[in-house]
Amino acid sequence: MAYKKHPRHITKEQFADNTTVDGDRIDSAMESFERHINEVPEGDVLTKWTPTMFVAGWIPQSATPGTIHHWPWLTTPNISDWVQSGTTQPERFVNTERVKGYKIPGVDPTRAESQAFANSQWVWDTSFQIHRPAVVTHIDVLLMVDNPVLGSRTFTNIFAYGSLPPQGFANGDPSKDFSFCLHVDAPTSAENRQLNEIEATRNSFVLQRSRTSDNRGIGTFTDMTPNTFPGGFVSGVYEPVEGEIPLHQNARVRLSCVIPPVLPTGATNYDSSWGDEPWFMQQFGVVIHMLEEVC
């Protein structure tokens, strides 16, 4: 037999055979019932959820190559090269790493400190706070490039390795050098990345297997002016992740996207289509789909 709450959940008065039923007891039971109806406990109501989406994106500045800044992208490790010249270096960094699980083929992140920027990958971190329990159902990440056959192109990444691919890959092979991670800060030490809890991560996947279509619909109407976007219609790589990822109450959640290191012209150990300004080769967009609990 299914569990059923006892009437005493509402009132302490119990009416049964061979018991007295007087006015005072009835009044007491009605008062308890009224208080319960006016402020129904959460446990008495079926939990309801409402969909919410967190949307973020970043478009690189349009400038002459060589002068394009990398902000908000930061190197994955905190290294001494970031310390302002002429100032005292700290004895230690609170977070030697900004995110977990970002290693890619051909790049050893543990060597970044000794080789400065040579092996430092770049991370864009977006955070948000939730106040009630929630469930993440989808994470969508879109890397957008200009159509290769229409107009001038600014964002030209083809997501492929170059003439110096990592071991196990050949020149022109689709790359596996992008990753993203959904993680939650520790409640008692929110600024310590070592204590972050990874909720979902996507790495070492082939980007070109999730390409978006750049086909256009055919219409008979007159288009607006200008009739094309610079670079043509945007296409790119779309990487969706589906799941049921629970997030606890008052969680500070982070989505970190990690791109390869700077690959200077004439690199001798590794290269790919991300080039010497990896943050400028595409636009970035992310959408996090959530179900939030409704009181």
Residue 208 lies in a domain: yes
C-alpha 127/C-alpha 279 separation (Å) is 19
- Name 169's Cβ contacts closer than 8 Å, sequence gap at least 6: 105, 106, 161
Q: How many domains does the chain have?
A: 1
Question: Across residues 6-21, what is the average pLDDT?
Answer: 70
Q: What is the pLDDT of residue 24?
A: 77
Q: What is the pLDDT of residue 118?
A: 53
Q: What is the pLDDT of residue 186?
A: 92
C-alpha 27/C-alpha 18 separation (Å) is 19
Residue 167 lies in a domain: yes
Q: What's the chain's length in residues?
A: 295
pLDDT band at 225 (very low <50, low <70, confident <90, very high): low
Per mean pLDDT, which range of 91-95, 98-102, 135-139 is the poorest? Answer: 91-95
C-alpha 20/C-alpha 29 separation (Å) is 13
Q: Do 173 and 271 touch, CB atoms closer than 8 A?
A: no
Give whichever of 72-76, 83-87, 108-112, 117-121 has the largest mean pLDDT. 72-76
Look at 93 and 124; give whichever has higher pLDDT.
124
Question: Across residues 140-147, what is the average pLDDT?
Answer: 86
Q: What is the pLDDT of residue 114?
A: 39
What residues make up the domain containing 188?
47-81+95-213+227-294
Q: What is the pLDDT of residue 116?
A: 42
Question: Across residues 11-36, what is the average pLDDT?
Answer: 77
pLDDT band at 7 (very low <50, low <70, confident <90, very high): low
Residue 133 lies in a domain: yes
C-alpha 181/C-alpha 256 separation (Å) is 5
Per mean pLDDT, which range of 78-87, 90-99, 170-179, 253-262 is the poorest? Answer: 78-87
Q: What is the pLDDT of residue 3?
A: 47
Residue 26 lies in a domain: no
Give whichever of 82-96, 101-115, 132-146, 232-246 has the largest mean pLDDT. 132-146
pLDDT band at 2 (very low <50, low <70, confident <90, very high): very low
Look at 2 and 120; give whichever has higher pLDDT.
120
Q: What is the pLDDT of residue 117?
A: 44
Q: What is the pLDDT of residue 238?
A: 82
Residue 173 lies in a domain: yes
Residue 1 lies in a domain: no
Q: Do 74 and 262 touch, CB atoms closer than 8 A?
A: no
Structure tokens at 104: 């890619």
Residue 87 lies in a domain: no
Residue 240 lies in a domain: yes
